[in-house]
Structure 1
Amino acid sequence: RTCNHSYSPWSELFPDGRVRLTDHCPREAECLARAVLLRSEYQTKLGKWHEIGEKFIFENDIVEVECKINEVRAYHFLHSQIWRQESMNHDCRAKRTIPKVARKPPSVHIIMLDSIGAAHGRRLFNRIHRYLKREFGAVEMLHMNKIGENSRPNAMGFLLGKLTSDIQRDMYGMPSIPAEWNYTQYCHTFLDDKGFILSLFEKNGYATMMAEDWDEGVFNFPRCKGFEKQPTTHYMRPFQIRVKHGGKTLDSHMGQANCFEQHLFLNDYHEKFMNAYTDTPIAALTWASHLGHDSPTKPFHADIQYEKFFERNKKELDDSFVFFMGDHGLRFGWLAQDPAGQRDINNPMLMISVPRFLRDDNALMANLQHNSGQLLTHFDTHATFVDIVETFSRKDPTNFSQTTLKPDLKGSSLLRPFPDEPRSCKTLPIPPQYCICETTKEQLNVTDQHLAIGRAVAAFLNNLLAKHKYADVCAELQLDELMTLIRIEGAAEVYEVTVRLRPGGGIFR
């Protein structure tokens, strides 16, 4: 409400790849434009400056404009486009095989909103929930269970199908499930050719796009390698890297003071991607981190923004698979301390709509409705992506009444009947500490004899700091208060513990 709604950029990038100055640009301004290209996950390659009057055609996605008045920078802005160039230097493109099928395979749109739990998502995005159900026949998956603490392990699950942390199952009297990848494998090793789901789509004829609003993205923080080469046909990363290093003038023109928000830049890029590829199936992933990562109330205003996005692009999205989802719930602040919020941390939002031509498939819709009430994991979402790729790359008619068993996957497609096996935190790859199923718990009165448990938590964290070589720069943690102690009924004696540690006063559960 307090931003400058009357602001208009001094420049614009037209569909022909040329930059033009608007009427808002002062006559005395001297303006230049250049291409911003990807050098690596952490660096951009900047092109040669061109005068606006040259009418230079930028054959790339991100363009930077700078204007000076009396040799002082007065304007700085980034524009995005989808420059469709079949000969672009992108390895996956050479591997694309467009299947010969009667109908063009349906497109897939993954709209990820960081830190949005299921219940909180219904409150935040009430308009979107109603719109998707009314217009797209969307189904809300009520009991999605996260598989890791933060974004990366959950992304590894639904985007690569990989488990990156051990699952301790002592409380069930069962052996642990070891992680497939250790820290070195998923952080200090490039992820190219490791099963990234958008690469699978691209190899099957899809044009692909990935856009995150944070320069240290889900596969990169903290200082992880990510991808060695551009992972998708279109990759917005140069935009975010340049935003980080653009300086105060860029921030003043493209920041919230002028009503710009990072997730809106993602939506704009996504929309341009849809408009650029009307003749081929597309798979798009946008990941908005800034909107909801740290605040329970900040995303409320975005409800109508996303509703308008869906309305503008209804024709494309109505005939596509749409996954409107979170990776986990809000992990910080007062909401995360509330009992309902604590459950929501482990229960991310997921709504799915299928292409209109599939909504008459009684088996598919019945499966989706039934599965919406089952316990799910991000591995099931990954299996659904794989099912979409494989199903619509075949010439044979699709029969969604059949269960597909794929031993190499840790999940089951949400579009099909689940295997006839019980689904619980005991049988699914869900770490017990994140399980959303109700268990029998007993609140214990904390006594001196329990303090050893709190000291064990402090010792564990100190060892963790030492393991990652932070012990020399961090203070040694000590127990300040054992705040709560809850016994969880299971095959072994397991407790849920909340402690406050000194000297920082941090609270750990």
Structure 2
Amino acid sequence: MIGIDSVSRLNFIRQMQQTRRFLHNELKAFEMSAYNKVADNTFVNIVPMMVGKFVSEIGWNETMPKKPFDDYAFLWKNFSKAGYRTLYAEDAPGVAIFVYSKGGFHTPPSDYYNRPLAVAMEKHKAVWSTGHHCIADRLETTMVLDYITDFSRVFRDKPHFGFSFITRLTHDNTELVSSADFAYLKFFKRFKEEGHLNNTVLILYSDHGYRFGKMRASYIGKVEERLPFMYLIFPPSFHQKYPSLVSNLRTNAQRLTTPFDVYETLKDILYFDGEDRKADINKRGISLLREIPTERTCEHAGILPHWCLCLEQKKLEPTSQLANQIAQAVVSQINRQMSSVSHMCSKLKVSTILDIVEMQPNDKVLRFQNSFHDVINRMEVYGEKSVAPIVYQVTLSTFPGHGQFEATIIYDSVLDIYKPGGDISRVNAYGDQSKCVNNSKLKKFCFCIE
């Protein structure tokens, strides 16, 4: 598994053209075009991918910044127990997935772990060049890819599992993605030429799209943030031996998928038996080796309204009384969350409502009752529209501090109240505005009084 931080599918298409062409033409990769993130940042999307649960379901929260992650049920442990040699590799050790504002690992999570080297290199400033992206004349990304290649060479004919995530080059700048296009192309060419892909499944993925900046404020920016890229590469022999599973993968490339599905896919690969099983739509995670039902919704897949792109949007007037009610509900929620640090952080007020939309579920989803026949004379029966909650997505700025936030609000018509529909996202950088607090969840809200 090779992850690249903060790269949407569309940005991958724009900036990784050589690599993408090779993935499609030479490696017959499956590109998941409707791969939807399920949470905000890297950490909360990787946990569903590697544990099969939301972070809130594994017993971790922001009150445990020093608790190590050694005892959590990451899937690489299953591979290790099954006799696989394991690798865990990241760059940028200061912002590593399980380290940034967290306890990290107190014992190596895998047989091969590059963190000691990454930390040592970070301390020696003289070896870095080109904006801290190169070590002498080598791109840092290339060093991680070379480590993965060496691992695959050593265990060419033995079971092995590698998890890697490359952050620094792409985390803060959408335009630097293309700088690594040749590095990834070279990696994949060499990997193929050396025969590693003859008996290896390779997953190339991102956690989410770019989360900050002017582009993020646009509609397409919001779309890109929610749709990271995801490619799956299977050996040529797999295509020949298991045509029905290949057909499922090809179909699923156009279906709604999530990190939970990647987790189930990895389990199917670990315990692979070649059977083509029917997917259960009521399960949050569905293996990509099983055909995902067309009627799958964000609710089925565990995607909160805040992240779901299956909703039709209707723009509302930002100066309306309704917009003001919704904005006030968002800022009240922010201030409630900051109650424990109210002596250090300013109470926020609504400054400007930048954008507000009413999000409407697909009409067919609301009216669907039943379907008959799978192929010939297939038909769907629709009835009265079921009652759906009224969902709003609002982008607003606050003062003091000029923070910009995006939130989903659900109107409860029974109680006549507006309720949060998920996490509230900060969509502009906050820099040192919140240096007075250490809680990673509250940093995005706080504007320090002094």
Place the TM-score, normalised by the shorter chain, in its bin: 0.7 to 0.9
Partner of 1:231: 109
How many angstroms apart in 2 are the aligned matches of 1:337 and 1:406? 33
Q: TM-score, normalised by structure 1?
A: 0.69
Matches within 5 A, 1:61-210: 110-165=1-56, 179-183=57-61, 188-210=66-88
Query: Is the Cα–Cα contact under 8 Å of residues 133 and 168 in structure 2 kept in the other structure?
Result: no
Following TM superposition, by how much is the alpha carbon of 1:366 offset from its aligned partner in structure 2, in angstroms?
Answer: 0.4
Q: Are residues 1:496 and 2:373 paired?
A: no
How many angstroms apart in 2 are the aligned matches of 1:406 and 1:499? 36
How many angstroms apart in 2 are the aligned matches of 1:154 and 1:184? 16
Q: Deviations over 1:94-134 (max 9, x none)?
A: xxxxxxxxxxxxxxxx1101111111111121111110111
How many angstroms apart in 2 are the aligned matches of 1:300 and 1:448? 45
Equivalent residues, number = 375
Following TM superposition, by how much is the alpha carbon of 1:486 offset from its aligned partner in structure 2, in angstroms?
Answer: 1.7
Query: Is the Cα–Cα contact under 8 Å of residues 318 and 354 in structure 2 kept in the other structure?
Result: no
Q: Are residues 1:389 and 2:262 paired?
A: no
Candidates 75, 93, 98, aligned match of 1:219: 98
Q: Deviations over 1:399-430 (max 9, x none)?
A: 332237699x7411101234x58311132211
Candidates 184, 197, 202, aligned match of 1:306: 184
Partner of 1:346: 226
Partner of 2:437: none
Q: Which amino acid aligns with 1:226?
A: G
Candidates 256, 270, 288, aligned match of 1:375: 256
Partner of 1:413: 287
How many angstroms apart in 1 are the aligned matches of 2:185 and 2:198? 13
Partner of 1:424: 297
Query: Is the Cα–Cα contact under 8 Å of residues 150 and 328 in structure 1 kept in the other structure?
Result: yes
Following TM superposition, by how much is the alpha carbon of 1:338 offset from its aligned partner in structure 2, in angstroms?
Answer: 2.6
Q: Are residues 1:457 and 2:330 paired?
A: yes
How many angstroms apart in 1 are the aligned matches of 2:338 and 2:46? 24
How many angstroms apart in 2 are the aligned matches of 1:344 and 1:245? 35
Query: Is the Cα–Cα contact under 8 Å of residues 446 and 484 in structure 1 kept in the other structure?
Result: no
How many angstroms apart in 2 are the aligned matches of 1:134 and 1:411? 29
Candidates 117, 120, 126, aligned match of 1:249: 126
Q: Are residues 1:484 and 2:355 paired?
A: yes
Structure showing greater Rg: 1
Q: Which amino acid aligns with 2:334?
A: L
**Per the alignment, do residues 487 and 249 of structure 1 end up closer, same or farther by CA in structure 2, a change over 3 Å counting?**
same
Matches within 5 A, 1:48-63: none
Candidates 460, 466, 480, aligned match of 2:339: 466
Query: Is the Cα–Cα contact under 8 Å of residues 139 and 351 in structure 1 kept in the other structure?
Result: yes
Q: Which amino acid aligns with 2:315?
A: E
Following TM superposition, by how much is the alpha carbon of 1:186 offset from its aligned partner in structure 2, in angstroms?
Answer: 7.5
Following TM superposition, by how much is the alpha carbon of 1:493 offset from its aligned partner in structure 2, in angstroms?
Answer: 3.0
Q: Are residues 1:260 and 2:113 paired?
A: no
How many angstroms apart in 2 are the aligned matches of 1:220 and 1:296? 23
Q: TM-score, normalised by structure 2?
A: 0.77
Candidates 275, 293, 303, aligned match of 1:400: 275
Q: Deviations over 1:306-346 (max 9, x none)?
A: 00011112111343111111111111123212322210111
Query: Is the Cα–Cα contact under 8 Å of residues 187 and 220 in structure 1 kept in the other structure?
Result: no
How many angstroms apart in 2 are the aligned matches of 1:357 and 1:186? 46
Following TM superposition, by how much is the alpha carbon of 1:488 offset from its aligned partner in structure 2, in angstroms?
Answer: 2.3
Mean alpha-carbon deviation: is it higher for 486-495 or for 426-435? 486-495
**Per the alignment, do residues 442 and 405 of structure 1 end up closer, same or farther by CA in structure 2, a change over 3 Å counting?**
closer
